[in-house]
Chains A and B, each alone.
Chain A
Amino acid sequence: MADNKTLTFALMDAPYESARSTTAFRMMDIAARRGYDINVFAYEGAVCVPFSKQAPHPNAVHGREVEEENHPLPKDWVAALMREAEKNGGKLDWVNCGLCVDERGVAEAIEGVRRGTPGDLWQMAGDSDNTLVIGTR
């Protein structure tokens, strides 16, 4: 049975940069499995997390082809979280800061990600049971 809690996370870190991203994904995964509604406001480098043109690569140093390397792509994790939330009766609403997107040229995001402004974070926080801001250090 889905719980109707709503949590908002503000993320700032670019993909492949910090363990903070891993911890954030872990928390969102727990919330998704509980059927919570999850809001994400991604700003600064975090707008690159759901960038649809991320691509896996081989590892020539270790002699592995692209399939063997099975390189993780954060965009796939975002999509998986969206599916997990929906499966359990919740939803993941991911908003990318539009200015941050334009600065970085990463407008092509996976399906389900929308463009917004810091005003969306304000709205999300107001409509949530709680909000956690995970800033870059």
Chain B
Amino acid sequence: MAKYMLIESRDPFTSNEVAQNYALAAGLVGAGNEVTVFLVQNGVLPARAGTRADGLSALTTAGVTVLADSFSLRERAIAGDMLADGVSAAELDVVVDALADGAKTIWN
């Protein structure tokens, strides 16, 4: 089982590639890998509860760990209690931890 860290810096409302990245995450976890999607910059926009972001909900249901960068959330006035179910706020240190641990890390 490999560990994957998929960094998503864009939101699904302006980029079709985001859905592909979500699909990649779901496919990898479905194949038995440990997968984290880390949302950063505008990538955190669908993490707000109430947004139309079915793809993100599907990821958490599939078993992908979904984290949202605390700094990016604060920049966009998204408080911790405004996050969608299954999404947790996290510090960027998580990504550096993954890099240091040798996780396969991809930026989108």
Contact = CB atoms under 8 A, between A and B. Distances in A.
Interface size class of A (residues with CB under 8 A): 10 to 19
A5 B97 CA distance: 11
Interface class of chain B by DSSP = mixed
Query: Which of B9, B96, B100, B102: most chain A CB closer than 10 A?
Result: B96
A132 B99 contact: yes
Interface in B32-69: 40-42, 69
A83 interface: no
A78 to B, nearest CB: 18
A134 B40 CA distance: 13
A129 B100 contact: yes
Contacts of A19: 9, 41-42
B99 A129 contact: yes
Contacts of B92: 23, 26-27, 30
16 contacts: A19-B9, A20-B41, A23-B41, A23-B92, A27-B95, A30-B96, A34-B100, A129-B100, A130-B99, A130-B100, A130-B105, A132-B7, A132-B99, A132-B107, A133-B107, A134-B107
Interface of B: 7, 9-10, 15, 40-42, 69, 71, 92-93, 95-96, 99-100, 102-103, 105, 107
